[in-house]
């Protein structure tokens, strides 16, 4: 069984060629948040409201994933800016760029390493790093690249998670696969650790928490989420059955609902 460390910042080849070779695994995780969130304002819309995009501005997203930040809440008539979508995975870029072109008029896509961006200094007004810096081997190096390509007065929006994020799911996972000491997302670049890294490079760093939790009612959706990342993605049939039993027990004990904590938000930082 592969180490869960691979999903955080240990193995870029795994992230590029397995975890994010296309959007399938990411969509399984996104759907759990979409279907069971209690926050009335969708995550993507909330993030959009944190940053004022200048008219005619140039925007860079590093780690674009499935592009939901640009396909929810936008129309092509409103998108008076140019957008460059990038991701470590060429497959993800190829899949996402045409989808985003339905809502954003001026879009191009490119597979890049966040630690070595192929753009000139002072190229962008806004850089977006949505739930991706914990995947990068050296987040500080990536942040310095973000600062380099930002124009003076530009803004970085970097979202991430805190220590309590999805703790109920991690407990269920540990009950089946055993307690493993791995670098969780928040230790690499999280709500606490990320602020210190940003403050070394950017000015006016501020953390904005997003108040939400999940009220999950479908066992299959929860299992699909857990099995979309290591160690769950390599689970045996018996281990999947154990996961199902635990989730069903949790739901039965709480009137058919598995309550899942979310500890998530975004940093806004200025150059």
Distances in whole angstroms, Cα of residue 132 to Cα of each of 148, 203, 230: 18, 21, 17
Q: Tell me: the pLDDT tens digits for 190-242?
A: 999 999 999 999 999 999 999 999 999 999 999 999 999 888 999 999 999 99
Q: Mean pLDDT across the stretch 66-89? A: 89
Query: Residue 210 carries which DSSP code?
Result: E
Q: Contact, 166 vs 195, CB < 8 A? A: no
Which token pair is 173? 């996972």
Cα 175 to Cα 159: distance, rounded to the nearest angstrom: 29
Q: Which of 124, 141, 161, 129 is nearest to 271 (CA)?
A: 124
Handedness of CA 145, 151, 153, 154 (dihedral sign): negative
Q: Contact, 106 vs 129, CB < 8 A? A: no
Q: What pLDDT, on a 0 to 100 scale, did the predictor assign at position 21?
A: 79
Instruction: Give the domain ranges of the chain.
Output: 4-165+179-213+263-270
On the question of pLDDT at 263 being above 60, the answer is yes
Q: Which CATH superfamily is domain 4-165+179-213+263-270 in?
A: Vaccinia Virus protein VP39 (3.40.50.150)
Which token pair is 4? 């869960």
pLDDT band at 2 (very low <50, low <70, confident <90, very high): very low
264 or 12, greater pLDDT: 264
């Amino acid at each position: 069984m592969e180490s869960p460390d691979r999903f955080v910042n240990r193995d870029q080849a795994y992230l590029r060629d397995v975890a994010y070779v296309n959007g399938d695994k990411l969509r399984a995780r996104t759907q759990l948040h979409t279907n069971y969130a209690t926050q009335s304002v969708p995550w993507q819309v909330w993030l959009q409201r944190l940053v004022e995009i200048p008219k005619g501005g140039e925007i860079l997203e590093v780690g674009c994933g499935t592009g939901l930040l640009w396909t929810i809440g936008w129309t092509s008539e409103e998108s008076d800016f140019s957008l460059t979508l990038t991701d470590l995975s060429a497959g993800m870029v190829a899949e996402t760029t045409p989808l985003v072109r339905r809502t954003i008029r001026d879009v191009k896509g490119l597979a890049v390493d966040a630690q070595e961006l192929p753009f000139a200094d002072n190229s962008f007004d806004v850089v977006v790093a949505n739930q991706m810096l914990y995947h990068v081997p050296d987040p500080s190096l990536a942040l310095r690249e973000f600062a380099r390509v930002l124009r003076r007065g530009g803004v970085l929006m970097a979202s991430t998670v805190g220590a309590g994020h999805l703790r109920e799911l991690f407990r269920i996972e540990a009950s089946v696969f055993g307690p493993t000491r791995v670098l969780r997302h928040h230790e690499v670049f999280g709500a606490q650790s990320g602020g210190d890294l940003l403050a070394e490079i950017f000015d006016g760093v501020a953390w904005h928490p997003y108040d939400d939790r999940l009220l999950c009612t479908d066992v299959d959706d929860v299992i699909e989420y857990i099995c979309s990342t290591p160690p769950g993605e390599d689970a045996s049939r018996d281990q999947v059955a154990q996961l199902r039993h635990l989730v069903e027990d949790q739901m039965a004990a709480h009137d058919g609902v598995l309550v899942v904590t979310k500890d998530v938000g975004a940093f806004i930082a200025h150059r």
